[in-house]
Structure 1
Amino acid sequence: MKLGVFLVLFGGRPLEEALDLAAAQGLKAVEIGTGGHPGKSHCDPDVLLEDKAALERFKKAVESRGMMISALSCHGNPLHPQKAIAKEFHDAFVKTVQLAERLEVPVVNTFSGCPGDHEDAKYPNWPVAPWPNDFQEVLTWQWDNKIIPYWTEWGKYAADRNVKIGLELHGGFSVHTPATLLRLREAAGEVIGANLDPSHMWWQGIDPVQAISILGRAGAIHHFHAKDTSLDPVNVNMHGITDMQPYTAMMDRAWQFRTVGYGHDLKTWSDIISALRLVGYDYVISIEHEDGLMSIEEGLSKAVRNLQGIIIEDSAADMWWV
């Protein structure tokens, strides 16, 4: 395994400065935003797809620092019921796949998206209860008419270019659990896999180790985010896990994102790393910093230090003792 970082946390700095900061931490990989919610301050597909010299400079900037690009990321909602919004996210995805092919980056990370509840809807609708039965009807319509058709078509587009799609299992989007990921993968093909982030499992009440086992046995983990979550038991009982308060309301929220080791102890994170190794995941552990109690620099450095002590880098030895 290699330790890396989602470089969007340094989005306010020029690419080479951001890469220097990552390299100074001893990181071996970077995940880079190419549009959508992560933005494209470090990597603009519109420029790099048209300018061969710019593309070569971009590659050299990463490789000259002894790093690799683990994924290009363009998280968004290409299924948004407002066509102009959907098109912007869709176009970012398509260009990101094209750029990934050029750069020989094997994974594009994004969200599954979430449609509305009918053709003329204005806003996404995320059903989370099976009753009243209207919610089941909405869910069936979404999967049959939007989710499966879209990802079947554009999954093939990515597969034809030797690019895998890492869908982040995230609340508010149609694919948000191991079950929904596997449902889409069965319909759209093995090009679909998870960009698995334990932080989104914890707040949904899912054990990340079990999620790794479920998805890993199916070969359905394409990329991995290292981010933690802390849960406040008093506030969980007040607001539930679908807490709609803004992330800035940290004193009152049921849960909040933390840097690695500040939501769950390193034994738990060691179990996660071991579970990844057990199912054959030997790719990048990409740190994502979204900790409202720490600066970017301190949050990253603490995550790096905590993970460096537990990540499994070497190949497993032969079982000489058996």
Structure 2
Amino acid sequence: MKLGVFTVLFAQQPLEQALDYIKAKGLDAVEIGTGGYPGNAHCDPNELLNDDSKLNAFKKAIESRGLFISALSCHANPLHPQKALAGPDQELIRQTILLAEKLEVSVVNTFSGCPGDSDNAKYPNWPVSPWPNDYQDLLKWQWEEKVIPYWTETGKFASEHNVKIGLELHGGFSVHTPATLLRLREAAGEAIGANLDPSHMWWQGIDPVQAVHILGRAGAIHHFHAKDTTIDPINVSRYGLTDMQSYTQMLDRAWQFRTVGYGHDLKTWADIISALRLVGYDYVVSIEHEDGLMSINEGFSKAVDNLKQVLINDPVGEMWWV
């Protein structure tokens, strides 16, 4: 396995300065944002697709430092009910796929998106209860009319360009659990897989090790994020896991994101890494920092130090004792 980082942490720095820092930390890979929620501070697909000199300079900046790109990431909502919002997000995903092909990057990460409750809706609608039955009717309509058709077409487009789609299983979007990812993959094809982030499993009450087994046995893990979560046992009893308070309300929230090792111990992270190896995932573990109690530098540095202790680097050898 290789250790990487989602470079949006360093969006305020020029690309080459950020790459020097990342390399000095001993990392192997970078995951780079191309727009949407992560922004495109280091990588504008439209610019790079239309200017070969800029594209070559971009590649050289990364390769000359002995790094490689694990994924291009354009987390957005391509199923937003407002066409003025969904249209640009859909175009961003298409452009990112085309750029990934040019750069020989195998994965594009994004969100599945979430539709509204009708063609006339203004906002996304995320049903999470089977009753009253209106929610079941809504869920059926969303998947049959919006989710499956869009991702079937986009998955086919990605396959034609030798790219896989890593959907982050994130609350608020149609694909947010192993089951919803596998449902979409069955309908839309094997180009669709997960950008699996344990932090979003923990706050939904899902064991990340079991999520790795469920998705890994299906060959459905395309990329992996390293981020932690802590759940406050008192606040969760008041607000539940679907706590709607701002992430800034850290003292009162039911749960919050933490850097690796500050929500769960290294034995838990070792179990996750071992499960990834067990199901055949030997690609990149990409650090994502969203810890409100630590600076970017400290949170990133501690994640690097902790993951280096549990990451399995060497290829599996022959079982000499068998």
- Is the pair's TM-score, using the shorter chain for normalization, greater than 0.5? yes
Quote how far apart the aligned CAs of 1:91 are: 1.1
Q: Which ranges in structure 2 are unaligned for 5 or more consecutive residues?
A: none
Matched, 1:14 2:14: yes
* Runs of at least 5 residues in structure 1 that lack an aligned partner in the other structure: none
Q: Stretches of 4+ moved more than 2 A in 1?
A: none
2:37 counterpart letter in structure 1 = H
Structure 2 CA distance for aligned equivalents of residues 265 and 169 of structure 1: 22
Q: Which residue does the alignment assign to 2:37?
A: 37
Distance (Å, rounded) in 2 between the aligned partners of 1:306 and 1:199: 16
Calculate the aligned-residue CA RMSD, in Å: 0.4
Taking the TM superposition and a 5 Å limit, the aligned residue runs for 1:228-267 are 228-267=228-267
Are 1:100 and 2:100 matched, yes or no? yes
Partner of 2:147: 147
Q: What does residue 301 of structure 1 align with?
A: 301
What is aligned with 1:317? 317
The residue that corresponds to 1:283 in the other structure is 283
1:138-217 matched pairs, under 5 angstroms:
138-217=138-217
Q: SS at the partner of 1:233?
A: coil
SS at 2:119 equivalent:
coil
Displacement of 1:210? 0.1
Once residues 284 and 310 of structure 2 are traced to their aligned partners in structure 1, the CA distance between those partners, rounded to angstroms, is 14
* TM-score, length basis structure 2: 1.00
Give a deviation string over 1:85-115, Cα, whole Å, max 9, x none.
Answer: 0012111111000000000000000000000
Q: Distance in 2 between matches of 1:138 and 1:21?
A: 47
Match for 2:214: what amino acid? Answer: I
Aligned to 2:54: 54
What is the TM-score of this pair, normalised by structure 1? 1.00
**Partner Cα separation in structure 1 for residue 267 and residue 245 of structure 2:** 30
Partner of 1:136: 136
Shift of 1:317: 1.3
Task: Indicate the residue corresponding to 2:23 in structure 1.
Answer: 23
Higher deviation after alignment, 68-77 or 88-97: 88-97
Residue 69 (structure 1) aligns with: 69
Q: What's 2:79 paired with?
A: 79
Aligned residues between the structures = 322
Aligned partner letter, 1:207:
D
User: How far apart, CA to CA, are the structure 1 residues paired with 2:271 and 2:319?
Assistant: 20
2:68 and 2:210 mapped to 1: Cα distance? 29
Return the offset for 1:184: 0.1
SS at match of 2:108: strand
User: 2:2 is matched by which residue type in structure 1?
Assistant: K
Provide the residue aligned with 1:111 in structure 2. 111
Give secondary structure in 1 for the equivalent of 2:310. coil
> 2 CA distance for matches of 1:96 and 1:104?
12
The whole-number CA distance in structure 1 between the counterparts of 2:138 and 2:24 is 49
Distance in 2 of aligned mates of 1:129 and 1:141: 15
CA offsets per residue over residues 119-144 of structure 1, 9 Å max, x none? 10000000000000000000000000
Q: Quick check: 263-272 or 10-19, which moved more? A: 10-19
Deviation at 1:21, TM superposition (A): 1.3
CA distance in structure 1 between the aligned counterparts of 2:240 and 2:177, rounded to whole angstroms: 18
Alpha-carbon distance between aligned partners in 2 of 1:321 and 1:240, rounded to the nearest angstrom: 49
What is the distance in 1 between the residues matched to 2:135 and 2:65? 51
Matched with 1:227 is 227
Listed one character per residue, the Cα deviations across residues 61-107 of structure 1 (whole Å, up to 9, x for unaligned) are: 00011100000000000000000100121111110000000000000
Question: Structure 2 CA distance, aligned partners of 1:111 and 1:128?
Answer: 17
Paired residue type of 2:49: L
